Every structure is written in structure tokens, then in C-alpha cells.
Structure 1
Amino acid sequence: MEYIEAFFAIVGDLTWGWALVPMLVIFGLLFTIVGRFAQFRYFKRMFRVFRTDEVGDDGISARQALLVSIGGRVGGGNIAGVAVAISLGGPGAVFWMWVVALIGMMTSIVECSLAQLYKRRDDDGNFRGGPATYILHGLGKDYRWLAVIYAISLLLSFSIGFVAFQGNTVAGSALESFGIDRWISGAVLVVAGGFIVFGGIQRIAKVADVVIPVMALIYIGMALIIIVLNFTELPALMVMIVKNAFGIESVVGGGIGVAIEQGMKRGLFSNEAGLGSAPNIAATAYATHPVSQGISQSLSVFIDTIVVCSATAFMILLSGVYQPGTEVDGIVLAQQALTAQLGNWSQYVLTISLLLFALSSIMYNYYMGENAINFLVKKNIKMATLVLRVVVIAILFLGAVAPTATAVFFFADPLMGVLALANLLALIMLFPRAKRLLDDFASQLRSGVKEPLFDAQEYEKLDLDLSAWGKKAVKEALDQKQ
């Protein structure tokens, strides 16, 4: 076991240790410049996704796909992770968190547009796709090995490792706040999680339609109360964040360097732009043009980091509980901030919010594995999916009941680094096709078309699934949206 742990430690060092974060930022800047800052040009258009846009029984709506993605991106890391980033990197880390989110929005447009372009219809009529699919059908069979590495890493890191982490987080918080035994929390999670995952993507989307807005309103509402109570201090706080970000004022050791490191790492870990997870959800939506879904998914990066992570940061920095240079558990710091401003009752609301955060992440993490299984297994897919569902529920319970059980899943973060590198390699090679999609989308808008349509016949040399992108399918999607 020691040798296995040492191996994955090396993998983690070679990915997250030095290579991955700079690559994500540099490639994001490249996509932004060549893509003519599409994340800003189409920012207003992103909010169209909240219109009612159901499209029949096949596929899920763009809004549902967005909410599932938000549910996956927004989790305990938006609370604990931001608190740790501020503790280690100072208030300036918040500024660099914003920067990496604005860059990541463009990366999300690229990867989610490609996921839509190469999506496939499965035997049940649902859309599936993601990095493994656009690696295989975009780069060709010579790169099947890369697609397989991606799919295996996705399955093990998200559906096994991160599911256990979520169960452990909820059970620990419930024990701390309410005194509820871990096995009881585990049993509740098993029932709720089982109901969702055994319903597939359709049920996941329906639950996300309800859970995600409630989750966001509860948490952001508490943060807004603290911001309003300390509104007069907000301008000074913004000045402090900027000064710390550029080393003009440093409240922790390391100055600007540690602020950049902590802010960018937290931003990337939180919004997952470029890591290749969200495209698996983006491919499930029924869209009239690949870029339409890319733009919609970009909004989830904005909501995750600019809205939710900022809410956590402001809540901590305005509450007066933050002590520069003092390392503290992230959840504890968030609880201290709430109780200092709103009273003891708020820590119980935070625990409920964490439960909703975890539930939404469990849905998302499970579907990552289901999509990987559908790519890896060509026969007996239904049986393989059933086995995955049972394993996920068992892992969820194990993570909840055993305080140290999650140490077994030490491979999760390193494998997420592997799948991110595989995805970035594919994005660089396929970016010319993404650029072509962006140019086509912009050209149609300039010509007066309100809802650009994708004509798969113009891309006949590509390995596309015409049952997903035939003229009839696109026309049906448009008719349903109007």
C-alpha cells in the first residue's frame, strides 16, 4: 500500500504540483484572446438559459444542464476551500480567484461547445458525450488510449473518491452541529442518493431544478445579510483585496506569490473549468447550436466563483473573525463568521446548506461515472450501470460512517490531475474546430439571426452523430424554444 500511495503522490506532484495550474491559466488566456473574449461579448446572452426551454422527452433542457453543472461545481469547497485560501494567501487570494474564473469562463465555452458538437444518442434516446467522446471522435481512433485514460480517471476520482469525501463532510458537519451519529447521516444519504442516482440523468436534472436554487438562496442569503450589515466597510475591503493581490500590502508571509498561488488554485478547484468534468453534463442538453450550450455552461463558472465563492470571502473578511496568518479549518472559520454576525442559529443553517451542497455534488459525481461506464463498456451497459449505482451508494455510506475512511481514496486528486491533462491536450488539438463554431455562431448573430442554428451538413467530414445534429433535430429544438 505504501508503494501505491507513493506512486499517486508522485502523480499528484507532476500534475497539481507544478504543471497543471499554469497550463490551465495559459491555455485559458490563449482561448480568450483567439476567441475574441467571447465570455464577455456573450455575457448578457448567458442568462437566456433561465427561460423555459424544455424540449420533449429526449435530452434535458439547457437550464437543467446548467443547474446540474452548478450543483457539481458548487460544493463544500466554496465554503471550506475559500476560507483556507484566505487563511494561507490573505485577502489578495480573492482577487486572483476572480481572475482565474473570468479566464476559465472561456475555457468552459470551448470544452462544452466541443462536447455538444460530438455528442451521441444512446439506446434510450438520451444525449451523451464529453471529453472521452470528443477525443475519440474528434482526434480519431489513434487517440483511443487517451480517451480510455480520461474515462477511467473520471470514474475513479469523481464517482468513487469524491462521493466518499462528500459523505464524510456531511456526516462530520451533522455530528458537530446536531450531534447526529454518522451512521444515521449515512443512512439518510443512502436513501436520498439512491432515489436520485437510480433515476438516471432525467431524475438528476429534475432534482437539480429544485435543489440548486434553494441551496443558492439559503447560503447567498445569509452572506448578503452580513454584507448589508457591514456595507460601509465594503469599499475599504475591496481596496484591501486589491492591495494584497499585488503585494502593496501583505498580511501573510510570501506576499503576492502566495496570494496568486492560493487564489488560482482555489478558483480552478472550485469552478473546474478545463478539468473536463462539466462537458459530460453539457453534452446531455438539447441545443440549437453547440456554442449556445457552451455559453450557458460558462455562466456556471461565473456563479460558482464570482458569486458563491465571493459570498464566502466577503462573509469571512467582513465578520471580523479572520486573523491573518492563522491556519484554521475552513468550515470552522465560516461557522465563526456566521455566528459572530448572525448568532448561533446560523451554524445549523450552514449545516443544512452543506447537506444540499453535498447532495448536488453527489448527483453530479455519480453521473460522471455513469458517462464513463457508457464509454468504456460496449456490452451489458445496463448491468454495468447497475453495479456502478450500487457501488456509489456503498461508497457514500462508507465515507459517512468512518471518520478516517476517506484516506483510502488518496488517488482522487491525482487522477483528477490526469484527466485534466488529457482534456487540455485534446482542447489544444481541437481548438480550431471550436474556433470555427464560434465564428459560425458570431456570423449568424451579425446577420440578424436571433437563435443561431447548427448545420451538421457543413461539417460532413467530421465524425458526428447526425441523429443528434440532423436538421430535423435542430429544427425541433428551435420550435420548442420559441
Structure 2
Amino acid sequence: MSAADADPTLNERVTGAIGDFNNDILWAWGVIPLLVVVSLYFTFGSGLVQIRMLPEMFRALRGTPEQAPDGKKAVSSLQAFMISAAGRVGTGNIVGVSVAIALGGPGAVFWMWTMATVVGAASFVEATLAQLYKVRDRSGYRGGPAYYMERALGQRWLGALFAVILILTFPMVFNAVQSNTIAGAIANSSETLGLGSGAWLSAAVGVVLVVVTGLVIFGGVRRIAHTAQALIPSFAALYVVLGLIIMAMNWQVLPSVLALILEHAFGLREFGAATLGTVIIQGVRRGMFSNEAGLGSAPVAAASASVTHPVKQGLVQTLGVYFDTLLLCTVTAFIILLASDGSVDSGLAGDLAQQAVMTSLGPWALHLMTAIILLVAFTSVLGNYYYGESNVEYLTRSSGALIGYKSAFLLATFLGALGSIDLVWTLADTTMGAMALINLLAITPLAGIAFRLLKDYNQQRREGRDPVFTRDRMPGLRGIECWESEEEVASGSRARG
């Protein structure tokens, strides 16, 4: 045993202690059982909305937003989808899947697929509630779990607690994960090119990220939405094509890779490595980090959309879960597993995807992956910022507080490029688990409202109408600010949230 093994550093001891708490208590006995039970309740209570209404999800993407109080167009349904995709489509799709496979084995992929299908119902419920209980602001709308916790449950303190944890999780911890991943990917390319790497390179990457990010976030939610709308389809298409090329090159072994995933998923080959519990925990945890269903973050973006019925954005956000996990995460999984025999080096967890692409296509592909990771993580940084801004505005409307938040966000962006990825990922698991617990406990008693909204939506669709929600269609609900009455709609313009 080496001296390093015998005397771990303080960073290693802290990371290990927090990791043990996450694995043995927070996720194993808290988040995962609650997520499964609640998602199954939402699935059957909604009549399998996440499967039955898949075609409707694509139709709901269409729509023209209304004019916001500042005279410009409010955020459209598609743009809100892109903002949430900016948060979802990040390092969780590449590095998160790599970590899941490294720590939980190939079987973790199966549990990511399974949970994405089940938790789609949770995404529908939380996004629909966020739409119903959103509030107006100068550029359109804002909302999310903190808002429905106060307006629907009457628990301002719970909304404030959630807002604080979200601000710690996304703008701070998750943001550090993104910048850390960007710095690591660029360092890999730099070393391959013989340019070297080190603290100087990480610092340089951090400075550039701060400057570019600042140029976008100081332009407000519209600039974030437009940037995400411009970048996400491009790099998603590029990444999917890259994965399809690698699959086509290895088509003969695709069946064996699928078999490997299934064998490991149920612990048939895990007795000498990870246990079945570890496989499930890693799959579910990284899946939630990637698609955010039930976590309470995507509803913040969903609330910003200008739509005619809350269910429309609930359906759109459910589609986002599939886009993220069943498409992009699957591409990453196959890229990694096709380049190996199923046994991967956990020491390379964060770099598995890059190494796998290089193995399949040659050294030049490492730089292509660096470019993809850079774009993916950068858009996620923007999504993380918006999540935090909306919740800072829930806590206070002070302009000084918002400036302070922006400064702290940019500082986290810089420090993340310099930090330890092990500690950053471990902290992300902890704060994400706390967020999920609070949000899932809040939306469970409110699910009946989402089911009633879905019934109203389907009734209008059967009548051949484009569904329009007005507050008097569900009398007795408290805390609704944005949805007009039938009389207001008849005397004015089209009803919108």
C-alpha cells in the first residue's frame, strides 16, 4: 500500500464521507424510493400521459407567444423548451453517463432508460403546475416550485427553502461541474496536441468562460433563450450523427452490447464488481442529473413560456426528458460500450466518452468531442443561470441582490474550472437529492390539480379546439395570477398564462 493510500488527503476524506452518505442514506433510502412511488402514482393517475400523449407533445411545441409588458415577444413554448434543454443537455449527457457506467457498470444504462420513461409523468406534473401558478414580470413570466409551494400549498417558508437549495445546486454546484468539465476536456486536447496543461490552462479557460457567459446573462432571459435555441439543435445533431457513425462502424456487436446492458442491469454479472443496488442508484442518480425530471429545475423554464393552456408546456417538458435521456444519453452509452468489452476504468470516469470516441475514430476525434463538450456544457451554464435568477427574484426584488447573484455565479464559473471533479460531483449529488425530496413531497398533494387540467385539455381537443384555459374552468383554486376568466377572454384577447 502506498503512502497516499494509507493517508488520504482531507479532500479525499470529505469526498468519501459525503459519498457514503449519498449512496447509503440520501439516495438509497430517500430519493429513489420516493421518486419511484410518486412517479408511478403520477403515471397511473394521469393515464400514462408520458406515453399516451407523445404525438401531442410535438404539436404543443408550436405556438406564437404574446407581447410582454416591455413591448417585446414573451418566451415561446419552444424557447422555454430550449432553456430547460440548456439545463438538461449538459455534462450529464456525456460525463454523467460516463460516471454512471464507470461506477455502476453497463447495467446503469438500463435503469436510466427505465426511470426516464417512468419519471416523465413527474416532469409533466411539475411543469404543468409551474405554468398554472406562474407570475408576470416585465419580460413575460417566471415561476417554478417555489411559486407553487407558496401559492398552492400556502407555504412561503418551503418555497424559500427550495429557492435557496436550487440556487446552491444549479448556479453554484452544477455550474462548477460544467466549467470543470470544459476545463478538463480542453486540457485533454491540449495535451494531445503537445501544448501541455496545468493550472494556467484551467485559469485561462475559467476567465474566458466568465467573459463569454457574462455577455449572455446580462442580456436577460431572451438572450439566453435565443442563444440556447441557436446552439442546442446544432450540437445535438452533430453528437447524434457522431454516435450513429460509431454504431454503424460496429453494427455487428450492437446486439452483444444490448445483452451486456441487460445482464448487468439485474446483477447477473455484478457479484465481483458493483452490487445491483449500486447499479440502480448510479443509473437513477445520473439519469436525474441529466433529465432533471422530478428535480424541480425544469419547471422554472416551463413557467417562462407564453401558452394558452398549462398542459401544453407540461407535455413539452415531458418530451424534453425523452430527448435528453432516451436519445443523447443513449448515444453516449453506446459510444462508450462499443469501444470497450464492458469493463471500464473507473479512474477515467470523467473522460470515458472522449477516450471512447478517440478509440473508435482516431486521435483527431478527441478534439471534436472537446468542441461538443464545450458547447453542451456552455449552454447548460446558461440554463443554470436562469434557474437561479428566477429563484433569486422569488426571494427578493432587490437589484443589488441580483447583481450580487450574477457576481457569485461568475465566480463559481471560474472556480469550477480549477476545482476537483470528485468533490464537485459529490456535492452535486447531495444538493440535487435535497432538491428532489422537497419538490416531490410538494407536488404529490398537488397532482390532482394537474390531472384535472389534463382532463380539461383532452376534452377541448376532443371537441376539435385548440385548448385554452381560463381560471373559471377550475373554480376554487387559489393563488392563480396569470390566467384570465372567460369574461376577460371574451372582451379582450386570447387567454394566455
CA distance in 1, matches of 2:159, 2:54: 32
- Runs of 4+ displaced beyond 6 Å: 1-11
Aligned mates of 1:405, 1:90 — CA distance in 2? 20
* Structure 2 residue 149 is the aligned partner of structure 1 residue 135: yes
1:384 matched residue in structure 2: 401
From 140, 149, 152, give the equivalent of 2:161.
149
What is the alpha-carbon distance in structure 2 between the residues aligned to residue 5 and residue 345 of structure 1? 34
Query: Aligned equivalents of 1:84 and 1:4: distance in 2?
Result: 19
Equivalent residue of 2:294, what SS? coil
Tell me which residue corresponds to 2:454: 438
The code of the aligned residue for 1:147 comes to G
| Residue of structure 2 equivalent to 1:421 | 437
Change over 3 Å in CA distance of 1:477–1:409 after alignment to 2: farther
Of 299, 303, 313 in structure 2, the residue corresponding to residue 283 of structure 1 is: 303
Scaled by the length of structure 2, the TM-score of the pair is 0.87
Q: 1:238 to 1:452 in 2, by over 3 A?
A: same
Question: Aligned ranges for residues 92-103 of structure 1 at < 5 Å?
Answer: 92-103=107-118
Deviation of 1:9 (Å): 7.3
Query: Which one of 26, 43, 65 corresponds to residue 32 of structure 1?
Result: 43
Give the Cα separation in 2 of the matches to 1:223 and 1:215: 12
- CA change 1:354–1:249 in 2 (3 A) is same
* 1:220 match: 240
Match of 1:337 in 2: 356
Is 1:273 the counterpart of 2:289? The answer is no
- Which residue does 2:321 correspond to in 1? 301
CA drift of 1:426 comes to: 0.9
Give the Cα separation in 2 of the matches to 1:244 and 1:405: 26
- The code of the aligned residue for 2:413 comes to L
Question: Which amino acid is 1:46 matched to?
Answer: M
Question: Which stretch of the first structure deviates more once superposed, 54-63 or 297-306?
Answer: 54-63
Superposition pairs of residues 234-273 of structure 1, within 5 angstroms: 234-248=254-268, 253-254=273-274, 256-273=276-293
Q: Which amino acid aligns with 2:101?
A: I
- What residue in structure 1 maps to residue 393 of structure 2? 374
Deviations 1:199-220 (A, max 9, x none): 1211110101101112212222
CA-to-aligned-CA distance 1:395-439 (integer Å, 9 cap, x gap): 212222x34499589754423222211111111111111111111
Q: Distance in 2 between matches of 1:252 and 1:202?
A: 51
> For 1:97-176, what aligned pairs fall within 5 Å after superposition?
97-122=112-137, 124-140=138-154, 143-176=155-188
Deviation for aligned residue 1:253 = 2.9
Gaps of 5+ in 2: 1-9
Percent of residue pairs bearing the same amino acid type: 40
Farther off after superposition, 41-50 or 59-68: 41-50
1:185 matched to 2:205? The reply is yes
Number of the residue aligned with 2:57: 46
**Quick check: 1:111–1:427 contact (8 Å CA) kept in 2?**
yes
The alignment covers a number of residue pairs equal to 471
| Correspondence for 1:66 | 81
Question: For structure 1, which segment, 356-365 or 325-334, has the greater mean C-alpha deviation from structure 2 after superposition?
Answer: 325-334
Partner residue, 2:473: 458
The C-alpha deviation readout for 1:316-372, integer Å capped at 9, x for no partner, is: 1122x3442642323422122111211111111111111111111111111121111
| Residues in 1 aligned to 2:230 and 2:318: alpha-carbon distance in whole angstroms | 21
Q: Which whole-Å CA distance do the structure 2 matches of 1:4 and 1:236 have between them?
A: 39
Whichever residue aligns with residue 398 of structure 1, its letter is: L
Please tell me whether the aligned partners of residues 120 and 129 of structure 1 are also in contact (alpha carbons under 8 angstroms): yes
Q: Which residue of 1 aligns with 2:413?
A: 396
Amino acid at match of 1:264: V
Match of 2:96 in 1: 81
How far apart in 1 are the matches of 2:34 and 2:290?
16
Amino acid at match of 1:269: F
Residue aligned with 2:210, SS: helix
SS in structure 2 at match of 1:127: strand
2:5 corresponding residue in structure 1: none
Deviation larger for 255-264 or 21-30: 255-264
- Do the aligned residues in 2 keep the contact of 1:119 with 1:129 (CA within 8 Å)? yes
Structure 2 residue matching 1:121: 3-state secondary structure: strand
Residues 152-183 of structure 1 deviation map (CA, whole Å, 9 limit, x = unaligned): 10111211222222222212221221246122
- Deviations 1:187-234 (CA, angstroms, capped at 9, x unpaired): 221121001111121111010110111221222221111011112322
Deviation at 1:252, TM superposition (A): 5.5
Listed one character per residue, the Cα deviations across residues 126-166 of structure 1 (whole Å, up to 9, x for unaligned) are: 201100000100011xx222111101101112112222222
**Displacement of 1:442:** 1.8
Distance 1:87 1:477, change over 3 A: farther
Alpha-carbon distance in structure 2 between the residues aligned to 1:5 and 1:333: 21
Tell me if structure 1 keeps the 8 A contact 2:15–2:423: no
Residue deviations 1:110-139, cap 9 Å, x none?
A: 0000000101002x1420110000010001
Q: Could you say what the CA RMSD is over the residues aligned between the two structures, in angstroms?
A: 2.8
SS in 2 for 1:24: helix
Alignment gaps of 5+ in structure 1: none
The answer to whether the Cα contact below 8 Å between 1:244 and 1:251 also exists between their aligned partners in 2 is no
Q: State whether residues 227 and 315 of structure 1, in contact with CA within 8 Å, keep that contact through their aligned partners in structure 2.
A: yes
Q: What CA distance in whole angstroms lies between the structure 1 residues aligned with 2:159 and 2:19?
A: 23
Q: Give the partner amino acid of 2:255.
A: P
Give the structure-1-normalised TM-score. 0.90
Quick one: which amino acid aligns to residue 403 of structure 2? L
Contact 1:121 1:468 in 2 (8 A): no
Looking at structure 1, the residues matched to 314 and 163 of structure 2 have their Cα atoms a distance apart, in angstroms, of 21
Q: Is the 8 A contact 2:87 2:382 kept in 1?
A: yes
For 1:473 and 1:8, the matched residues in 2 are separated by 53
Partner of 2:223: 203
Deviation at 1:55, TM superposition (A): 3.7
Question: C-alpha distance in 1, partners of 2:156/2:56?
Answer: 36
